[in-house]
């Protein structure tokens, strides 16, 4: 028989619990032992629990819970010591248990844990009832939670159904819109197919007309070629007749040449005498100065494309510049792009103008250098060298057109030489009576110094 506090027999010590201690009751028992643990001396503790004497109550419950529960079950003295400490802390609850009437408002788990430690009469029933009460409470909580979860799921289901109805309505509206759009696209597609068919028919008709026109053009080209061959034959005959006539004229022209030369000398002497008598000053304004152009310092030229012309001996240029009152017109960028295209435009201009100044000083010829000034973006700060006239074409006017204007401004018979490798420029000035020379020829002449 166990002993109660004061040495009285413990009537409940003989009772045995025939089922495992409920988890809730076990946790409360371990907490009671952990609270009483610190108020016991090390000697009063079982040997297996002394290592936890220095632990805090929470750490004892966490790390020594199983050991304390086992010691409480097997060591009656230790259980009684813990019970005494518990009586000191919970005197009212312990007194109610001793009298067999636990407080109705007390937690069943606390009552069962106290009964398990104190072992009063009927403690097994208290522990069993607490376990059953805990199970019922757990079942009620589980049922309540299940009801709440069921209600939440019902609400979610209702919300999902409402969302599904809204989504269905939206999808139906989108489907109707898509059907209408598809119908519209089908109508547009049929119209486009009709347009394509009409276009294909028009294309076939156009191809037929093109083939007919090509055949007619081929017939006309053949006729033109035949006419061209006939004209060339007639031109050959005319040139042969002209050469025969010239030959006959040269054979009988010596006396007439003497008379014409004598008349020319007379006219020249009379003109010189008239000039001295009238005291006419030398010509100060040249025809090239009357051509409308942009002066240096106002525009910046753009790069121009060059077209090739055959090269010739620079000695021909010396002979041309040696003619009386010769005027050399230079297509500036055409020459620089031919000679030194890798240099910047400003250095190209300065190098060419310096060489032309030397050429003017050596030959005494009038020299005009023309640069393309179309669509210029900034002014050109340029001081024309001595003996060289520098012109820039106006916006909208190319250097080629300015050169042709310069040639047309000269009187018929004056020797005008145009330096350019541009075939269009060369052909144009040749028709106007000037002599074209290749840019390469001028560059060779300038390289001699």
Q: How far apart are CA 86 and CA 33, in angstroms?
A: 9
Q: How many helices (H) and strands (E) does the chain have?
A: 14, 7
Torsion of CA 159, 165, 170, 176, to 10 degrees: 170
pLDDT for the residue numbered 283: 61
In the chain, which residues have pLDDT < 50? 1-9, 299-310, 375
Is this prediction's pTM over 0.95?
Answer: no
pLDDT for the residue numbered 380: 67
- The length of the chain is 449
pLDDT for the residue numbered 300: 45
pLDDT for the residue numbered 373: 80
Residue 328 forms beta bridges with which residues? Answer: 367, 417
pLDDT for the residue numbered 146: 84
Q: How far apart are CA 63 and CA 55, in angstroms?
A: 9
> Could you report how far apart the first and last alpha carbons of the chain are, in Å?
143
Give the three-state DSSP class for 259: helix
Nearest to 127 by CA among 20, 33, 34: 20
pLDDT for the residue numbered 273: 67
Q: How far apart are CA 405 and CA 292, in angstroms?
A: 9
pLDDT for the residue numbered 9: 41
pLDDT for the residue numbered 74: 75
Contacts of 388 (CB under 8 A, 6+ apart): 353, 356, 357, 360, 367, 368, 369
Q: How far apart are CA 139 and CA 145, in angstroms?
A: 10
Contacts of 211 (CB under 8 A, 6+ apart): none
* Integer CA distances (angstroms), 276 to 59, 266, 271, 272, 284, in order: 139, 16, 9, 6, 17
Nearest to 32 by CA among 87, 76, 70: 87
**Helix H or strand E encompassing 370:** strand 366-371
Q: How far apart are CA 26 and CA 112, in angstroms?
A: 9
Q: Name the one residue in this structure whose structure tokens are 């000035």.
A: 429
- Do residues 440 and 335 make contact, with C-beta atoms less than 8 angstroms apart? no
Tokens of 306: 């060059």
């Amino acid at each position: 028989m166990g002993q109660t506090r004061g040495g009285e027999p413990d009537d409940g010590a003989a009772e045995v619990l025939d089922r495992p201690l409920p988890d809730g009751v076990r946790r409360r028992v371990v907490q009671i032992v952990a609270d009483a643990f610190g108020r016991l001396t090390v000697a009063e503790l079982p040997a297996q629990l002394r290592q936890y004497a220095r632990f805090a109550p929470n750490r004892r419950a966490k790390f020594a819970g199983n050991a304390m529960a086992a010691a409480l079950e097997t060591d009656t003295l230790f259980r009684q010591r813990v019970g005494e400490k518990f009586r000191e802390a919970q005197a009212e609850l312990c007194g109610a248990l001793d009298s067999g009437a636990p407080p109705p408002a007390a937690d069943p788990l606390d009552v069962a844990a106290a009964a398990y430690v104190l072992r009063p009469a009927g403690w097994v029933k208290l522990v069993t009832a607490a376990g059953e009460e805990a199970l019922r409470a757990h079942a009620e909580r589980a049922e309540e939670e299940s009801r709440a979860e069921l209600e939440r799921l019902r609400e979610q289901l209702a919300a999902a159904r409402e969302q599904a109805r809204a989504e269905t309505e939206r999808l139906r509206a989108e489907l109707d819109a898509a059907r209408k759009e598809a119908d519209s696209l089908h109508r547009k597609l049929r119209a486009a197919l009709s347009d394509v068919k009409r276009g294909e028919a028009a294309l076939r008709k156009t191809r037929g007309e093109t083939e007919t026109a090509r055949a007619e053009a081929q017939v006309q080209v053949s006729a033109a070629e035949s006419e061209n061959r006939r004209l060339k034959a007639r031109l050959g005959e005319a040139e042969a007749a002209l050469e025969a006539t010239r030959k006959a004229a040269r054979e009988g022209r010596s006396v007439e040449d003497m008379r014409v030369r004598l008349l020319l000398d007379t006219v020249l002497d009379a003109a010189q005498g008239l000039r001295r008598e009238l005291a006419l000053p030398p010509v100060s304004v040249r025809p090239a100065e009357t051509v409308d152009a942009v002066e240096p310092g106002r525009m910046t030229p753009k790069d121009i494309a060059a077209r090739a012309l055959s090269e010739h001996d620079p000695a021909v240029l010396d002979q041309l510049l040696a003619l009386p009152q010769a005027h050399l017109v230079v297509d500036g960028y055409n020459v620089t792009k031919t000679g030194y295209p890798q240099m910047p435009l400003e250095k190209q201009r300065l190098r060419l103008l310096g060489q032309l100044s030397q050429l003017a000083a050596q030959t005494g010829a009038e020299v005009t250098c023309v640069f393309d000034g179309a669509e210029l973006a900034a002014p050109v700060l340029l001081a024309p060298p001595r003996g060289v006239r520098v012109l820039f074409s106006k916006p909208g006017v190319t250097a080629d057109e300015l050169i042709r204007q310069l040639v047309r401004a000269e009187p018929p018979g004056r020797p005008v030489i145009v330096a350019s490798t541009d075939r269009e420029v060369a052909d144009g000035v040749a028709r106007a009576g000037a002599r074209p020379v290749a840019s390469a020829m001028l560059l060779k002449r300038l390289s001699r110094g």
